[in-house]
Structure 1
Amino acid sequence: MKKENLIVLDIDDTLTQSEEKHTDSLLFAMKYFGITKVDTDWRNYKNATDSYIFKDNYEKTYQNIFSFDLIEEFEKVMTERFLTYPNTTEVEGAKNTVNYLLNETNYAVCFATGSIHQPALLKLLQADINFVPEVLSSSNYIFTREEIVKSAIKEAKEYYEVSHFENIISFGDGLWDATTAKNLGLHFVGVNTKNVEDFKKQNVKYHINDWTEFDLNKTEEMFNLNL
């Protein structure tokens, strides 16, 4: 089926139950690099991505300019820590929803995450979420959420061999996901329960607690998409 529209999916606590062990793995990797004083309120950072959080704390700790050359070892340490945890599970209904979108609709699917790349791959693999690596954009060499989402959209166009998507809907669990979608002019659906108040402040039109509540027709009606 030709893919005329696009779904952009965040991963942690949007598709997979993984935020807590992700955070622990991130902090473990920073501790490996000698970074022990870390503000864990990600809203206080200019960019809520692993690479930027690492950069910001590295420069504060060492009073030295951050280099992307550090990312490879950081990713290795973070991934090894992540693998010490039990396998990641899906947010309820995520697997079936992604399969439905890919197999029964004219929506393409791509993934945009603030995570470092290898842990992001692991989460999707462990939760048995249908994906192809070519349409997964992460934060290894990109600091901003906006650039990560734009990268995922570009990769989706190349993978699905289209020059333009008629409609793009972004799904995420956090304030930064809603803000990014707004900045890029994308429709946005909030997922999960923990940031409902943030969604309200952002005037998010549509929110689901998990994927068992997702209704594509309702989503299209909510955003007045004439498909």
Structure 2
Amino acid sequence: MPHDLPHARIEAAFHDALWGLDAPAGITAPDASEVAQRFKVYRNNVQHSLTRALAARFPVIEQLVGATFFTAMARAYIAQSPPQDPVMLRWGNSFAGFLDGFPPVAHLPFIGDVARLEYARGRACHAADAAPVAPDALAVAELDALRFILHPSVALFTSFFPAVQIWQAHQPGAARVPLLSGPDHALIARQPDFTVIVARIEPETFSVLAALLNGTPLGRAADNADPTPALTLLLRHGLIIDIDTGVPA
């Protein structure tokens, strides 16, 4: 590239060329006739690597549309939203929104929410570590005042569509069962053994978990629903990492 151009312009020209047809101006090679072919190889490698990285993050989306279509769709997304961060696990946060507005998949109105679920799983997988409380941590006299600190991986997911069921149906070995109409709700988190769970839950359990996640005391979180399923889920999967009893130390 010409050395007298500002670095930002050089980067912009190089980036644009990755998604165009021509090599950027100023590229050289020992044989000038090979410039276009060499850059084409480089361009294909970049596009292929990013496409496969996206497919690894959104495997059910690839299943839903097929590998060939996913490749074409991914390249349209990558051209629009290339990685801006060297930490690749943070890339893809806008993919669900892209799918929401991508006309060729408009006949799959749930696809954006399935992508949101898959992205949330990735975030849970890479969340910070934290040890769960002891099994007898809830053996206190006054439960209503308890506030729970949940594992950093805990996230709640909701969709107007049966997105959780669609995701579950595309897991290895999944049984073929009829899908129930939406909405769907789920708890997404990483267990102490590093297994990422997607637990489909009832709306009432979702409501209790949402309140607990926001720091609401157990008594208030349970005003409109039985908290037992939510607490059972959290304890079974080791997702409570601390408890505030409300009593000054």
Question: Normalization by structure 2: what TM-score?
Answer: 0.28
Question: Normalization by structure 1: what TM-score?
Answer: 0.29
RCO higher in 1 or 2 (8 Å CA, sep ≥ 6)? 1
